[in-house]
Each structure stands twice: as structure tokens, then as C-alpha cells.
Amino acid sequence: MIRIFKYLKPKEWIQAVISLVFIVVQVWLDLKLPDYMAEITQLVQTSDSEMSEIWKAGGYMLLCALGSLVSAILVGFFAARIASSFSQRLRSLLFNKVESFSMEEINRFSTSSLITRSTNDITQIQMLVTMGLQIIIKAPIMAVWAVTKIAGKGFEWTLATGVAVLILLVLVAFIMVFVLPKFRKMQTLTDNLTRVARENLTGLRVVRAYNAEDYQEQKFEKANEELTYTNLFTNRAMSVMMPVMSMIMSGLSLAIYWIGAYLINAAEATDRLTLFSNMVVFSSYAMQVIMAFLMLVMIFIMLPRASVSAKRVNEVLDTQPTIKDGHVTEGLQGLKGEVTFNHVSFKYPDAADYVIEDVSFTVKQGETIAFIGSTGSGKSTLINLVPRFFDVTEGEVLIDGVNVKEYSIESLNNKIGYVPQKAVMFKGTVSSNVAYGDNGSAGYNEDEVKRAVQIAQGADFVEKMDDGYNALISQGGTNVSGGQKQRLAIARAVCRKPEIYIFDDSFSALDYKTDRVLRSVLKKETAGVTSMIVAQRIGTIMDADQIIVLDEGKVVGNGTHKELLRDCDVYREIAMSQLSEEELIS
């Protein structure tokens, strides 16, 4: 928990210290009140006392109460400020950290847990800072101060207060043993609920199409019920706790007055007045002691939950991305867009078997290399090693003669135009989706966007949309078709003017004609740019300069379409299942 506070800024520490001063002032003023109350009680009981003296003591009491109020408001103000700016910083730090994560870390934490950690967990920490500054610091000061005030003021009363405190401590122990583990569980259950809700929303179309609403509802209900029951348990325990606490407070008041009545009754007439005023003062201080313990109970309730949250946030912030940034910005002189795989093998983190085994090839500037193979043969995995979504387990991947690990991530990304298997669209316009990100140049102008969309064979449908290039694209691109999304995703890569295109099965949603036209325009308009294409369709890759045939992660064929038809059984099998006799011969 403490470690999370290293993210507080000096300015916030200063504000916390100022709050501390005001808390001390507030406690001092609060504990001054019973003194004036005792003075007034004495004055009222003394026959020759002046009215003005009572007014004076009453005035001081009022000033103390007002001073305490102002201090409390100031502490509340500082606490809110510190807590909100602190949580804002934590959210940004988390967001930036998650952005630096490779797929390995994202998969390890899971997306839903990362969302809960950036939202709910930070809210818990924020609540603790807001309340904590007011309570955590105030409670012990108040408890110790009030105890010193009542010490020696009457053995019987002290004993009664001691018993009340003991009962309170038993209650705190009960909370620690039974309720705290539930608070810990609550965060994991919240993760679970986020995961189920997210899964349902992203897969809504499939859920509906398969009449799986009931199944999804049951899943959600299960997660929801688990969280609700845990919530109910803790809230019920707390709801019992609060009245019990008030009962202890009232019981203690009653005990003090009861004991007081006996003591006054047994005392000499001259001592009675002092005893009475002592009793009034004692009961006020005793209430402060109990109040301080009540606050401590609240801390015991909040602290564990917030400390679980802090641990979860720290876990993310302390994680070092496995993909380390390099320093090189340029490849070897004279090379541009050349990709070499040198005996590359790869296995996914925690997986036992290699997905890619001993793959070697070189593709030169302006050439097209294609990868084909059955599903699960490792094509996507292989090309994902170029932009370092994962790092190779063995061997090396070179771009322009330099190992990809040595490039700064930014420079590496500037060389690549990556189009994923599933086109990703962001909420915005056609233009903002195409002119997306930064390629190290001065940004993209309107003409560049239009040209990119034209090359990607998207101009027709974009110009037909209301507002054309300014037409709105909803989150995930739900208002455009699969093929349109793919074309916009390709346009985005073209707009970057990269050295190397990576198309991970990016033509699959296009009809054959568009696929063919797009590739020929791309080749003509972006001559000199290397292309790495993963495809299922022979038609998409048969013109490639080099085709790699993968089977269970191993290269079983490498050559041109014609060479492979002649020499590679796996390729011939795929080709024969897709092309007619004439197409095969031609």
C-alpha cells in the first residue's frame, strides 16, 4: 500500500502536511470544548459567579467549534484535491504502462482485469486517500490526546471506558477475521463481472444469432450473484456493526453517569461540584475516545480493500515490458525494406511446443513474399515477429541488416505498414482512421488520405457516404462492411508510406476482383515497397516473388508459384483444392 504513494508529487506531500497541521488544530479545538464545558458547569453551580464569565467561556466554546469546522472544511478540501489529482496520475500511468505492454503482458493480466485495475481499483485508492487523510491521521491523534486528558480523572470511569474500548477491539477483530477476506475477493469478482459483460457486448451479434441470450444471462447472473452475495455479506456485517458501535457509545455514557451518580452520592458536599464537572468532562472525552476508535474501525474496513487495489495497480506499474526498446533508428546503408529471418524459432510464453521452427528467408526491397499453409500452421505468428508483437525465442529477425530488437520501437514501427487479420477501426471519421497515428513525418494531408483510399480501392464507397471522407465511423467500424473495413485498414497502412507492408490475411473479405485490382494498383503505386502477405487464397499470392509454405510451423516449401506446384506436395494440394486445371497450367 505504502509503495503506491511514491507516485505522489512533492506538491501533494506539501498539501498533505498542511492538512496534517489543520487536523492537529481541529483535534486540539475539539478537545478544548469539554474544558470550557466544565468551566461553565462550575460557573453555573457557583453562587457568586458573573453572567459575563459564562458568556466569555461560552464565546470561547463557540470559537473553538467554528475553528474546528473551518479546519475540517480545509482538510476536506485538501484531501479531495490530493486524492483526485493522485488518481488522475495513477490512471495516466496505468494507461501509458499498458500501452507499452507486449501481447504477452496483456494476455497475462487479461484485458478485463486491466480495465478494472484502471477504474475500480483506482477509485478504491482515491476513496482511501480522501477519507484516509481525514480519518487515518485524525483517529490516532484524537485517541491518544483524549486518553491523556482523561487519565487520572477517576479510576471507575477509566475502567468503564477501557471495557468499552475492549468490546470495540473485539469487534475490529471480528471484522478482520470474517469480513476482510471478502473485501479482497470483491476485486477479483469485479474483474470477472467486467470480463463477462465485455465478452457479451463484443460478441452480441453471435449471441443473438445463436439464441444464446439465456446462456449469456446465466453466465452474467452467476458472476453478478457472486459479487452481490459478497457485497451483501460485507454490508450486512457492517450494518450490524454500526448500531452496535452506537450502543457502545450510549452504554458508556450511561455507565459514566451511573458511576458518577454513585460517586457524587457518596462524596462530601464540598467535593460534589468538582465530581459533577469531572463527570461531564470525562463523558465528553470518553466520547472522543470512542469516536477515535470508531474511525479506526472505518480504517480497518477501507484499508484492506484499498491495499488489495494498490497491490493490483502496483503489479501493473512494476511490470517491465518484455519487449525492450532499442536505440537504432536506421538500418544499414544502402538497404531499405529488406527483411531476413535467420533460423527463427518461436514458442508462445508458457507454451511447451514451438509454433515456428527454424525458419529462414530473405526478402529484398520491392519484392513480395507470401506465406501460405493450413490454419494454425503459424503464418500470423511468423509475421507478428517482424513488428515485435512477440520476440523470437531463437534466431533473429533483421530489417535492413539490423536486428529488430536493436531498433527503437518508434523507428521500427515507422518502417512498417501493418494490416491485421481483423481490421480495427476507431471512433472518428474516415479521414481520422486513414490518417491514423504518426510515421515520423509532418502528418498527413487531405490528398495523401485520398490517394491512400484510392489505392486501397475504397474511393468508390467512401465518396458515396454522406460527408465522404468526413463520414463518421463508429467504434469498431460497426457502420461499415467487413470488406470496407479491410480497405480502410489497408488505406491506413498505405498512408504511412512504409518500407514494408505486412498484410495478415488482409484481403480475405474482398471479392476476387477487388483483391486482384487492389494488389496490382498497390504494386504499381508503391513500387519499391516490400510486401509480406499471409493469405489463404492461392489467387492472392500466386504472383508473389517468393512463397513460403508452412506446415506445423516448419517451412515445407519455398519458391515461386510454378516452382512450388512442381516441387511441393503441400502447396500443390492447396492449389488443386482452389484452382481449376486451366488456372493451374497457365
Ligand X SMILES: Nc1ncnc2c1ncn2[C@@H]1O[C@H](COP(=O)(O)OP(=O)(O)OP(=O)(O)O)[C@@H](O)[C@H]1O
Contact footprint for ligand X (CB under 6 A): 107, 348, 351, 355, 373, 375-381
**Whose Cβ is closer to ligand X: residue 355's or residue 529's?**
355
CB of 374 to ligand X, least distance (A): 7
Nearest approach in angstroms of CB 505 to ligand X is: 6
The 3-state secondary structure of 142-189 reads: HHHHHHHHHCCCCHHHHHHHHHHHHHHHHHHHHHHHHHHHHHHHHHHH
* Beta-bridge partner residues of 341: 361, 397
Q: How far is the CB of 532 from ligand X (least distance, A)?
A: 13
Alpha-carbon distance of 303 to 306, in angstroms, equals 5
Minimum distance between the CB of residue 379 and ligand X, rounded to whole angstroms?
4
Q: Which is nearer to ligand X, 194 or 377 (CB)?
A: 377
Question: Which residues, other chains included, contact 1 with Cβ-Cβ below 8 Å and sequence gap of 6+?
Answer: 303, 306, 307, 310, 311
* Residues contacting residue 82 through CB under 8 Å, at least 6 positions apart: 8, 12, 15, 16, 19, 129, 133
Residue 584's φ and ψ, nearest 5 degrees, are -65, -40
* Cell 494507461 belongs to residue: 95
For residues 339 and 352, is the Cβ–Cβ distance under 8 A?
A: no
Nearer to ligand X, 332 or 351 (CB): 351
Nearer to ligand X, 107 or 148 (CB): 107
Show the cell assigned to 116: 478494472
CB of 538 to ligand X, least distance (A): 14
Nearer to ligand X (CB atom), residue 355 or residue 541: 355
Q: Residue 358: left if φ>0, alpha if ψ -120 to 50, beta else—which one? A: left
Min. distance of Cβ 442 from ligand X in angstroms? 36
Q: Whose Cβ is closer to ligand X: residue 34's or residue 373's?
A: 373
Grid coordinates standing for 236? 450486512
Q: Given phi > 0 = left and psi -120 to 50 = alpha, else beta, which region is 497?
A: left
Q: Looking at beta carbons only, is 352 or 527 nearer to ligand X?
A: 352
State the minimum distance, in angstroms, from the CB of residue 366 to ligand X: 25
CB of 507 to ligand X, least distance (A): 13
Nearer to ligand X, 70 or 424 (CB): 424
Question: How many CB atoms are closer than 10 A to CB 571?
Answer: 25
Per the CB < 8 A criterion, the answer to whether 369 and 533 are in contact is yes
